[in-house]
Amino acid sequence: MDFTEIASNRIRQALEDASDSNRLLGFNHFVEIALYHPEFGYYQTSRERVGRSSQSDFFTASSLKGTFAPILVEAAIGLLENSGFTPENTAWVEIGAEPGSALLDGTEAPFQSTQSIRVNEPLSLKGDLVVFSNELFDAQPFHSVIFREGAWKERMVEVGDSGIRIIEESTISPEIVPLIAQLPNLAPEGYIVDLPTGSLNLMDKIIQQPWKGAFIAFDYGKTWRALTHDTPQGTARAYRRHQQNPNLLEYIGQQDLTCHVCWDWLETALGKNRFRSVELESQESFVLNRAPDFVKGVFESDTGIGGPMKGALRQLIHPSLMGQKFQSLSAVRTDLAPPA
C-alpha cells in the first residue's frame, strides 16, 4: 500500500512513540491510538459521532432510544426475574454510552439506579447489575493477518518519512501466535483475517469483576469459521460522515475504526465465568421474543405515539434494516462462588 500522509505532528509523534526500532507498530496499537489517544482519539474528542445528521458518522439502535429503551427494560426485567433477581434491587450500568446519550435517560425503569460509563472509562462493577452495551465490542483494537505465499503474515503499520502504510511481516506478535495456530493451513492468496482481540480483552475486564446479574450486548459479529472462511477482505472498516472509507489509515482521530467481533470467543468467555443461559440471537429475535408486551402495544396502537414508534420498531426488527445486521448476546450469572 502507498504511504498515507499523517495529518499532524502530534499524531506522528504518538505513532512513532508506539513503534519499535524498525518504526513498525501492530495494527492493534494503531487502532488504540486512533480511537483512544487522550488528545486526539476518535472516542476521546468532543464531537458528534452518532446520529443521522450530516456531521455524525454512523447510526445505531440507541439513536432510536424512545423505542429501544423500553425494549431493553422489558427484556432485562425478564432476564432478572427468571433467574431470581429483583429489578428494584438491581442497578443498571450502560458501558460505552455517548456523552449525554445514555439509553435510559428519560425512560421510566424499575431499577435501583442507572449509571453510564463512557467508552474506555475505568470499569468498576460490583453487586447485582444489568450490564448493557450497544456497539461497544466492535470499537476495540484488533490485530490483522494475511495469507501470503503459503503462510500467515501479520499486517503492521510502518511509520515512514513520507507517511504511514500497511506492510506484511513474517514475525508474528507473541500475543496472537496461539490464534495463528487456529487459522486454516491453506487459504486463498491475500485472505485477510482481522482478529478482534480487543473485544475479548474488554469482555474479560467486564466479567472478571465481582458482579452478578444480567449481561446484554448488541453488536455485529461473526463466528470464527465465518471470519476464517467467508470474509476474504477481512471485516475492518472505517466510517466517516456515514460513508465507508476503504483506507483505515486516513483521517486519524476523525473516523471510526471498527471490526466484527468473534461471537464464539465471547460466548466461551461468559461460559467460563459462571454465566448461564448464554444466548446469541439476531436483534430481530431479541426484540420480538424478549419484549413481546412492548411490541404488541406498539402495533396495536392507532394514535399518538404509536405512529412514530411503529416506524422506529420496524427499523429495529426488519431483516433488511437492523433486524439481521445486528446480534444480541445475553447471559445471566447468579453467583460468584467458585465451583465446588
- Residue ranges with strand state E in 248-303: 256-258, 261-262, 276-282
215 and 235 part of one domain: no
136 and 272 part of one domain: yes
Q: Kindly state whether residue 97 falls inside one of the protein's structural domains.
A: yes
228 and 88 part of one domain: no
46 and 174 part of one domain: no
SS (H, E, C) 21-90: CCCEEEHHHHHHHHHHCCCCCCCCCCCCCECCCCCCCECCHHHHHHHHHHHHHHHHHHHHHCCCCCHHHC
The length of the chain in residues reads 340
150 and 28 part of one domain: yes
Q: Kindly state whether residue 232 falls inside one of the protein's structural domains.
A: yes
Number of domains in the chain: 2
Q: Kindly state whether residue 14 falls inside one of the protein's structural domains.
A: yes
216 and 129 part of one domain: yes
AA letter at 218: F
151 and 127 part of one domain: no
211 and 307 part of one domain: yes
Residues 6+ apart with CB under 8 A from 292: none
167 and 136 part of one domain: no
Q: Which residues of the chain have pLDDT under 70?
A: 1, 47-62, 242, 302-306, 337-340
81 and 103 part of one domain: yes
Q: Output DSSP code: residue 4.
A: B
Q: Kindly state whether residue 201 falls inside one of the protein's structural domains.
A: no
170 and 230 part of one domain: yes
Least Cα distance to 2 among 133, 167, 137 occurs for 167
301 and 212 part of one domain: yes
**pLDDT of 5:** 83
Q: How many separate helices (H) and strands (E) can be counted in the chain?
A: 10, 16
Q: Kindly state whether residue 249 falls inside one of the protein's structural domains.
A: no
Q: Kindly state whether residue 252 falls inside one of the protein's structural domains.
A: no
Look up the pTM and report it.
Answer: 0.92
Q: At 56, list the grid cell.
A: 455524525
Least Cα distance to 64 among 311, 282, 258, 328 occurs for 311
Quote the domain boundaries for residue 130: 42-141+206-220+260-340
**pLDDT of 282:** 97
Q: Kindly state whether residue 215 falls inside one of the protein's structural domains.
A: yes
SS (H, E, C) 124-163: CCCEEEEEEEECCHHHCCCEEEEEECCEEEEEEEEEECCE
**pLDDT of 299:** 84
**pLDDT of 13:** 94
Q: Kindly state whether residue 251 falls inside one of the protein's structural domains.
A: no
**pLDDT of 98:** 77
Q: pLDDT digits over 93-127, tens only?
A: 999 987 777 899 888 899 999 999 988 788 999 99
The CATH number covering residue 83 comes to 3.40.50.12710
